[in-house]
């Protein structure tokens, strides 16, 4: 294993069993960080454990599990330098078709869990002068029909990022977010999209992203790793587009 700019950093990564969270965990491990990986799926957690991570099987919709993750993670690592909030959910629906239960499920994981994990991590990050990287979305900065609750939740993540960055700057703690466009992960399928519909969605997304393709989880992980490293020490409060130009477009 080669050591990089995250060597010896102590990190907790949520949503680490798939997609962007998993790519971030793998990148951190490759750069020499010590990593606690959090998720619900036992198989991927076991795979990451074989790669050197410490697994923590949690359901982040549970307040008890959120507290357990931070407490056990800090104990395992002997402190905390980086929290990567990558866990999230996407449920399709409009203000006409989504009921409050669907709205609440989205806000609970995408916003409430992220907020509480960050809140619980702050005392440890203050001690280490560490940082938080939140995984937001282009949907936090631009509006899209059909994913109403998701857009609202990611706009909230962006504002949490900015507010926390100002509040924690005096302690030397940085807070940033990445805002991906469409990236090939399982989040849409888990939201109910069929394999056929997802293939059509990815093909259509080639036209909605000016660079002409969708993204890969490892590309987003590269940006997360940069923001988490000391070389990004003068960057805080940023919400960084990594979306093939999608946020720069008007309706297409």
Residues labelled catalytic = 150
Closest by CA to 82, choosing from 25, 164, 159, is: 25
Chain centroid to CA 112: how far? 14
Separation of alpha carbons 181 and 99, rounded Å: 26
Strands (E), the chain: 10-13, 34-39, 54-57, 82-85, 131-135, 174-180, 239-242
Of 140, 139, 90, 134, the C-alpha closest to 114 is 134
Please give the C-alpha separations between residue 179 and each of 40, 56, 88, 176, in angstroms, as whole numbers.
24, 26, 13, 10
Residue with tokens 């939740």: 153
Residue 91 CA to residue 98 CA, distance in Å, equals: 9
> What is the rounded distance in angstroms from the CA atom of residue 217 to the CA atom of residue 178?
12
Beta carbons within 10 angstroms of residue 133's beta carbon: 27
Tokens of 134: 């939140």
CA distance 131 to 27: 17
CA distance 239 to 200: 29
């Amino acid at each position: 294993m080669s050591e990089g700019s995250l060597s010896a950093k102590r990190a907790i990564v949520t949503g680490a069993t798939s997609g962007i969270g998993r790519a971030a965990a793998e990148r951190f491990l490759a750069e020499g960080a010590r990593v606690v990986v959090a998720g619900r799926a036992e198989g991927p957690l076991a795979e990451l454990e074989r790669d050197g991570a410490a697994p923590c099987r949690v359901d982040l919709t549970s307040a008890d599990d959120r507290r357990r993750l931070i407490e056990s993670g800090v104990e395992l690592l002997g402190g905390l330098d980086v929290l990567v909030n990558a866990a999230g959910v996407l449920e399709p629906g409009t203000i006409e078709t989504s009921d409050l239960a669907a709205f609440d499920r989205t806000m609970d994981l995408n916003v409430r869990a992220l907020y509480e994990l960050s809140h619980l991590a702050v005392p440890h990050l203050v001690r280490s002068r560490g940082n938080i990287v939140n995984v937001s979305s282009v949907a936090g900065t631009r509006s899209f029909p059909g994913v109403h609750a998701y857009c609202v939740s990611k706009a909230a993540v962006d504002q949490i990022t900015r507010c926390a960055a100002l509040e924690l700057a005096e302690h030397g703690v940085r807070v940033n977010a990445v805002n991906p466009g469409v990236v090939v992960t399982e989040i849409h399928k888990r939201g109910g999209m069929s394999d056929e519909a997802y293939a059509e969605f990815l093909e259509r997304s080639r036209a909605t992203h000016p660079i002409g393709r969708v993204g890969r989880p490892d590309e987003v992980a590269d940006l997360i790793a940069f923001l988490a490293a000391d070389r990004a020490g003068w960057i805080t409060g940023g919400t960084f587009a990594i979306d093939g130009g999608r946020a720069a477009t008007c309706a297409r």
